[in-house]
Amino acid sequence: MMSIRSPHLPRRRLLLAAGATALLGVACGGGGDDHPALQTIDSSRLQAIVGGIVTEQLVPGAVVLLRTPKGDFTSFTGSNSYRGTAPTSADQHIRVGSVTKTWTGTVILQQVQEGLLQLSDPIARYVDGVPKGGQITIEQLLLMRSGLFNYSTTVAFNQALDDDPARVWRPEEMLALAFAHEQSFDPGTSYEYSNTNTILLGLAAQKVENGKPLSDIMRDRLFRPLGLQHTLLPTADDASLPAPFTRGYQYGTNVQTLHPLPADMQAAARAGTLAPIEHTNSNTSWGWSAGSGISTANDLARYVEAMVGGGLLNPQMQAARIASVRAIVPPVPELGYGWNLARFGALYGHTGEIPGYGTFMGHDPANKVTLIVWVNLETNLEAAGAATDIARKLISEVYRPAE
């Protein structure tokens, strides 16, 4: 879920730290003459790339949906379980991690349109006890510019996940963990990706709708209007995945995956003597509005095209959301973050990591390119995301210079 300081800092669900930095350097821009023309899809070449990454990074299974004006590419690689034989498919349910943030952000922007809240409102108006809550605005939370500590990055928190994977977490517990730490900077003065921001946005969204559960708000505002029959925000006590689903894994414990695994564990995994830990039914209530969503590749493709291309917000708000994206690693303009929306070159969307699963979704509205990738392994042995690695290489192929 997002930081820019190092690819190997404690990376529990850190969007840029764990994977999106791997997308830097892709040959793509925002449309027009400033980037190479789209290439005709070579399915054999792309499948070799996907298959190579799946094999090299010990990923049990992966799904890729790529749509472009120069052809489409669909890949169902590997299995939906460790050492299994059942194939992956685009209708299997997965946990999408930080992709959930885009749902929360879209709901907030719809509420702004309706006058239920304003971007300039202080979060203290909706949630009590937030440090400097009178200074932190709704917009700063969307932009990851509040300075609030990211509760999910500490060893203690990850140890708690290891000790009790079935634990049901309340938003107030996550906030207490965050507020026990000093803020990184004054509100609005810098950028740092933090799940704490989106937990607060989820609480605000419920408050302005008279306590209506966020899961119901998302269903009524997003999923039903788009016909997303296989997408949901589960209730805190529900750790199940609807059928059909793929099982999800990670090598090492949550604490161990804060960093690349030790050499002996990596060697054992490659030798087949160390099996990954299954997280299919681990409770993800600790991610709630920041990361506990469930969807399918097919639904994510429909959603990201509407989120980026229009259909969920009015034209003015839609344009403002795209314009909100700012470069967060100067002088690298290809990578940016806005109102719960990331940019990877010409594609807008988000990545997601949650124990057991990794996801990338992106849409290029200028060139009508859509890319969805999911894997049923949260991170590889180096604590990086296989889904974003696949996405990076496929994006490079789609936008590569003509040979």
Residue 134 has pLDDT above 80, yes or no: yes
pLDDT single digits (tens) 275-329: 999 999 999 999 999 999 999 999 999 999 999 999 999 999 999 999 999 988 6
- 36 pLDDT band, cuts 50/70/90, is low
Helix (H, G, I), strand (E, B) or coil at 190: coil
State mean pLDDT over 204-211: 98
- The answer to whether the CB of 14 falls within 8 A of the CB of 28 is no
Helix (H, G, I), strand (E, B) or coil at 196: helix
% residues pLDDT > 70 (the chain): 89
Residue 377 has pLDDT above 50, yes or no: yes
Q: Give the pLDDT of residue 366.
A: 96
CATH class given for the domain over 15-398? alpha beta
Q: Give the pLDDT of residue 363.
A: 98
Q: Give the pLDDT of residue 330.
A: 65
- The answer to whether the CB of 94 falls within 8 A of the CB of 204 is no
Residues 6+ apart with CB under 8 A from 284: 95, 234, 239, 291, 292, 354, 355
- 332 pLDDT band, cuts 50/70/90, is low
Triad 114, 215, 111: Cα angle to 5°: 10
Residues 6+ apart with CB under 8 A from 331: none
Residue corresponding to tokens 């203290």 = 124
Q: What is the DSSP code string of 325-384?
A: -EESSTT-TTEEE-SS-EEETTEEEEEEEETBEEEEEEEETTTTEEEEEEESBSS-TTS-
Helix (H, G, I), strand (E, B) or coil at 153: helix
State mean pLDDT over 42-60: 97
pLDDT single digits (tens) 75-107: 999 999 999 999 999 999 999 999 999 999 999
Q: Give the pLDDT of residue 61.
A: 98
**CA-to-CA separations, 403 to 35, 50, 296, 397, in angstroms, rounded:** 15, 21, 35, 11
State mean pLDDT over 35-41: 80
Residue corresponding to tokens 């949630």 = 127
- 403 pLDDT band, cuts 50/70/90, is low
